[in-house]
Amino acid sequence: MQSPVLRLLMRRLGISLIVLIGVSMLIFSIARVIPGDPARIALGPNATTEQVANLRAEMHLDDSLVVQYGHFVADVARGDLGMSLYTNRPVTLDIAQFLPATLELVLFAGVIMVACGLPLGILAARHKGRWQDNLVRLFTLLTVSAPSFVWAVILMLLFAFYLPLFPIAGRISDIYEIERVTGFLTIDTLLSGNLLAFGNALSHLVLPACALALSGIGQAARLTRANMVETYDRPYIEMAQAYGFFPSRIARMYAFKPSLIPSLTIIGLDFAAMLGNAFLVEAVFAWPGLSRYGVAVILRKDLNAIMGTVLVIALTFLIVNIIVDLLIAFLNPRIRHSTRASL
């Protein structure tokens, strides 16, 4: 008999496949009804009518929408996302170049979000109604109210212009030449043994990651506080307090873990949403990531690149959701130890 967690994984994989197909059909249709001729935009105003017609035939733009989607599915099945009209390179190469930069930024921002948001929520819940709680609630209100690009500009002004502590553009200074192995510069610099380059890459990462993480920090802190305040009213918490357990132990072992389960879903969604929201932060800090690349290809109606970018972001979003579901199943003993035949 399959375990409940394995059944959950199989079910989520099946649902994710259906969602991914639906997303591909939706974006494929929307991309082709946007005004403008992709062939004309790619070749420019000086191209002849014959050249435009040849490119349209090569891209199957004169066929029906169903036939075009069939060609797209056949190409994807072979691992071919087509050529980008924006970079004149295969879309797979563009994604391989730009995706690691965005993933590194989002992962670092996610670590900051969890490392700061959860402790702030615990602090506010432990000191409910006191000055610590009020200070955390004020901070979370400010971070949630302003979008990421606003924080990007504020952090740039504070810590790059008035206090020149961090660089403001790119992923690493030009003086360092690092062999790209994983595409994550913080990892590649360590693999090369160049600690100065690692520090430089990390300093370039701090401001954009903090700007991207601030709204998530506020969201995580607010949810953790609300869930822990509700958990503190449970009878087993009162019993632990009556036995004289230390407040820190009660918060860490008896209040935080049950409160983490409902918060984890929202934190996972916020983390996945960073992939799509990163383009403004990448634009402010000139970060060469996939989100910035996606905006550029949308403006040029680069159909192949649009489809490739959206599918990769959607796939990453679905993978994060599956991981969150598995973490919840691990934390929730009712799922982990369930003996029912179906979820």
The amino acid that residue 270 corresponds to is: D
71, containing H or E segment = helix 65-77
Q: Are 293 and 309 in contact (CB under 8 A)?
A: yes
Q: For 122-139, how does the pLDDT look when each residue is reduced to its tens digit (9 = 90+)?
A: 888 888 888 888 999 999
Give residue 338's pLDDT.
55
**For residue 158, what is the DSSP state?**
I
What letter does residue 253 receive in the DSSP assignment? I
Q: What is the pLDDT of residue 336?
A: 57
Beta bridge partners of 83: 90
Domains, the chain, ordered by start? 1-86+304-343 (no CATH), 98-299 (1.10.3720.10)
User: How many angstroms separate the CA atoms of 192 and 190, rounded?
Assistant: 5
Which segments of the chain have a pLDDT < 70? 1-5, 332-343
Q: How far apart are CA 195 and CA 116, in angstroms?
A: 26
Q: Quick one: pLDDT at residue 206?
A: 92
| pLDDT at position 203 | 92
What is the per-residue pLDDT for 318?
87
| Secondary structure string (H, E, C) spanning 209-221 | HHHHHHHHHHHHH
- Which residues are paired to 90 by β-bridges? 83
> Hey, how many other C-beta atoms are within 10 angstroms of the C-beta on 229?
18
